[in-house]
Amino acid sequence: MSTFIELSYIISAVLFILGLKMLGNASTAVRGNSISAGGMLLAVVVTLLHRDIVSYQWIIAGILVGGGIGAIAAVRVSMTSMPEFVALFNGTGGLASLMVGWAAYYGMAGDYGDLEIPRGDVVVQVVATFLSVLIGGVTFTGSLIAYAKLSEKIDGKPVLFTGQQWLNGLVLLSVVASGVIFVINPDAPAAEIAFYVTMGLAFVFGVLATIPIGGADMPVVISLLNSYSGLAACAAGFVIGNTVLIVSGSLVGASGIVLTNIMCKAMNRSLAHVLFSGFGSAGGSTQSGGEQGEAKSLTAEDAYYVLEAAASVVIVPGYGMAVAQAQHVVRELAELLEKNGAEVKYAVHPVAGRMPGHMNVLLAEADVPYEQLVEMDDINPTMETVDVCIVIGANDVVNPGARDDESSVIYGMPIINVDLARSVFVLKRSMASGFAGVQNPLFFKENTRMLFGDAKATVTQLVNEFKGA
């Protein structure tokens, strides 16, 4: 039986790794997700068979309640709400790990000295219990703040106050002190107090670590919190001695860190700023020092004549496309442009939208060919040869102030250089700034024309113009 259990765990781990690899390609992502889910199902079933379960009624109740909530939420959530939905997922994962650590401590409190295992193994279990509670608590409250900012239930701007860094440092020192007290002698009365103090400080630090982060920087925060949830799960695996949980948590934690690093590079931020809570709070101007003046608008009919003569078109999707649910009609426009002889590409910025891969998910949902998606570093060298660049709801990721205006709060962030194209069409509802609250000089450039209104309605008009030609 033991051999069967270990073999099943190995198969589950292989399925996790295979599924994770397949998630790196849009054409195989759905299959990869199913394979990973199959691996987790196998791991859960085998664990239940392996453990001495007294009664399955609570497990069945949990499956029914949790599965029901998850199914309803998955069906009802819109693509525009996906970033905050992911934040909630991260938070519940962190809370689950905290509960595992709490339950393990509650069951073993006062009995650590009686465990018939080497002292070193006891220390590992105690440290793992401490980390699962600490990381899980930080992930939970941090994810709740991220959710509130992304859903605009609270202000998305950085929350700063005098002595903030000192307070963060004091909380961290208190966590370390509580951890030392708990690990040295987990059976002592003081250890129980330290344990609950750690739990409370974890909740507090999750809030303090997230409130200084501006809403425009949320893609990095989401990927970082995702990594935290994996690390918390890994620690929980050590607590209960479950190999497959350790492996899966490590994979999530490692992939989250890699993704966080990619997001940081895409925004010209350092990982240290994220980890030490200074992220997104740097000072700077929200007014552009670039071109000013009156933006020039254009009708869909006039835009059609320009697009009809274009030999190359680049589409830059942004959060506005998600809000308008315009991805399907955008794909239809692209197909019409191709039939008209134009080369069409989609330039996707790594942090476009409000979570990592947001635009990739939208375009994949619309069955946009993956080979048409071009990364920022690959499209920028060719931008001067592009006849028309269509910006659909993107703002900060195409703001030339990030490249040219040293006083801007987003200065230094790599952008898609749409302003270098021969013509630029910007589809927006209004002249409002992006999520970073920064004015965009792109709107006032000579080669830019604004198409105001709902993105889906505007692109539909363009489609109708092509069909009626």
**Positions marked active-site:** 396
Asked if residue 402 lies in contact with residue 349, where contact means CB atoms within 8 angstroms, the answer is no
Residue 67 exposed, middle or buried by CB count within 10 Å (0-12, 13-18, 19+): exposed
Structure tokens at 360: 């990739």
Distance CA 49, CA 55 (A): 12
Is residue 427 within 8 A of residue 443, CB to CB? The reply is no
Q: What are phi and psi of 54, to 5 degrees?
A: -75, -45
Q: Which two tokens stand for residue 117?
A: 């295992």
Question: What is the 8-class DSSP label of residue 297?
Answer: B
> What are the structure tokens assigned to 283, written together?
């000072």
SS3 426: strand
CA dist., res. 97 & res. 239, Å (int): 10
Amino acid at 212: P
CA–CA separation, 295 vs 441, rounded Å? 10
How far, CA to CA in Å, does 178 sit from each of 193, 199, 228, 292? 8, 10, 20, 55
Note the Cα 397 to chain centre separation in Å: 16
| Tokens describing residue 176 | 């370390």
Read off φ and ψ for residue 74, nearest 5 degrees: -65, -35
